[in-house]
């Protein structure tokens, strides 16, 4: 078994075919087929269904491990480079959209100033979309909604953030500057789906008070929920920083009583040692959050890692 065989199988998984894998690897299809066939003979299992180009169950298991091997090799090179020279290498960071709006510009500037040889790649997605990418080695770090209950993920709390309501000017809620959570349940709201951290926390609060949230529509992605509220489709419960300071419109911001803050944290794989550039980016994220002076944001960095 060698690295070329593993790389060929991973490329087939990503491209969905041998020909696509050859293009990804800048080689010919016969080379990809040969590497995969040799790997199959060594393992005694069929890894790719030749009729569909999709992986078998055994192939999926091997690809999961192969991605970890590739990631560890990249980290090894980056660690040695950091010891011999400057911190350098690629780091892929996932970030939920409402946090990314204010954190990513500051993070890019911080990494550029402190670690100019680190190449930062940012993936904007929901927590539910980021977690599989983190676990499959496609991300090094992820800024996500908490809580997370995956034993393979370590979490460092970053900050708590107040929850507010945005209501269109023609909605009854827009006449208020403050509203109780109990009163909110009388109205249909734009909500994230059940199973997302932000929504589940709201449902737990409602259930504890003997209340039930009423859904106008369910949308997976707080930034899109916010956009719909800003455009007048209905009221929404949002984190405070979902409202940019520069944004004006026919909507009203309302404080909420009886509703806990949302928790945001930085996640990474528990069993993987972060590479030197990933550790550098983590330090930059910590610095950005510690220096953030945003209404409704309350840093929690002193509490350490999970």
Confidence of residue 125 (pLDDT cuts 50, 70, 90): very high
CA dist., res. 127 & res. 58, Å (int): 28
pTM of the prediction? 0.70
Task: Give pLDDT, residue 104.
Answer: 96
Range 86-159+263-303 has CATH code 3.40.50.2000? no
Instruction: Check pLDDT > 60 for residue 94.
Output: yes
Task: Give pLDDT, residue 64.
Answer: 85
Confidence of residue 305 (pLDDT cuts 50, 70, 90): very low
Model confidence pLDDT, tens digit, residues 25-80 = 889 989 899 999 999 999 999 999 988 888 999 989 998 888 878 777 777 776 76
Lay out the sheet containing 178-180: strands in order across: 178-180, 251-257, 163-168, 236-239, 188-191, 214-218
Report the pLDDT averaged over residues 234-260.
Answer: 92
Strands (E), 61-127: 89-95, 118-124
Closest to 109 (Cα-Cα) out of 98, 122, 97, 124: 122
Model confidence pLDDT, tens digit, residues 163-180 = 999 999 999 999 999 999
Confidence of residue 306 (pLDDT cuts 50, 70, 90): very low
Domain 3-67 identical in fold to domain 163-260: no
**φ, ψ for residue 52, nearest 5 deg:** -115, -20
Average pLDDT, the chain: 90
Range 163-260 has CATH code 3.40.190.290? yes
Task: Give pLDDT, residue 83.
Answer: 58
Fold of 3-67: Arc Repressor Mutant, subunit A (1.10.10)
Confidence of residue 81 (pLDDT cuts 50, 70, 90): low
Task: Give pLDDT, residue 85.
Answer: 61
Task: Give pLDDT, residue 78.
Answer: 66
Instruction: Check pLDDT > 90 for residue 215.
Output: yes
The H or E element spanning position 137 is none
Residue with tokens 């309350």: 298
In the chain, the percentage of residues whose pLDDT exceeds 70 is 96
Q: Where do the structural domains in the chain lie, given as residue ranges? A: 3-67, 86-159+263-303, 163-260
Residue with tokens 């940019």: 244
Confidence of residue 219 (pLDDT cuts 50, 70, 90): very high
Lay out the sheet containing 262-269: strands in order across: 118-124, 89-95, 141-146, 262-269, 153-161, 297-299
Residue 216 Cα to chain centre, angstroms: 26
**Cβ proximity of 69 and 62 under 8 Å:** no
Model confidence pLDDT, tens digit, residues 128-148 = 999 999 998 889 999 999 988
Tokens of 263: 């928790």
**φ, ψ for residue 139, nearest 5 deg:** -125, 145
If you ran DSSP here, which 8-state letter would residue 35 be given? H
Instruction: Check pLDDT > 60 for residue 6.
Output: yes
Residue 101 Cα to chain centre, angstroms: 13
């Amino acid at each position: 078994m060698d690295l070329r065989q593993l790389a060929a199988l991973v490329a087939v998984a990503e491209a969905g075919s041998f020909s696509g894998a050859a293009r990804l690897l800048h080689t010919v299809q016969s080379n990809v087929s040969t590497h995969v066939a040799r790997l199959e003979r060594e393992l005694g299992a069929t890894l790719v269904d030749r009729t569909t180009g999709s992986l078998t169950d055994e192939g999926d298991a091997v690809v999961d491990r192969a991605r970890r091997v590739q990631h560890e090799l990249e980290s090894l090179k980056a660690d040695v480079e950091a010891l011999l020279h400057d911190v350098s290498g690629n780091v892929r960071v996932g970030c939920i959209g409402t946090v990314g709006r204010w954190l990513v510009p500051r993070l890019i500037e911080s990494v550029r100033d402190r670690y100019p040889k680190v190449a930062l790649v940012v993936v904007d997605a929901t927590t539910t979309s980021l977690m599989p990418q983190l676990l499959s080695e496609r991300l090094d770090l992820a800024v996500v909604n908490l809580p997370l209950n995956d034993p393979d993920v370590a979490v460092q709390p970053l900050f708590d953030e107040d929850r507010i309501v945005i209501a269109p000017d023609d909605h009854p809620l827009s006449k208020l500057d403050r509203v109780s959570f109990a009163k909110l349940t009388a109205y249909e709201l734009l909500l994230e789906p059940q199973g997302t951290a932000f929504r589940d926390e709201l449902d737990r609060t409602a259930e504890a008070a003997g209340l039930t949230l009423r859904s106008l529509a369910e949308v997976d992605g707080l930034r899109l929920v916010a956009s719909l509220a800003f455009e007048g489709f209905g009221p929404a419960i949002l984190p405070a920083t979902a409202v940019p300071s520069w944004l004006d419109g026919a909507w009203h911001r309302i404080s909420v009583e009886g509703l806990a803050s949302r928790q945001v944290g930085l996640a990474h794989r528990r069993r993987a040692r972060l590479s030197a550039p990933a550790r550098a980016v983590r330090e930059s994220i910590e610095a950005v959050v510690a220096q953030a002076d945003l209404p409704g944001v309350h840093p929690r960095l002193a509490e350490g890692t999970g």
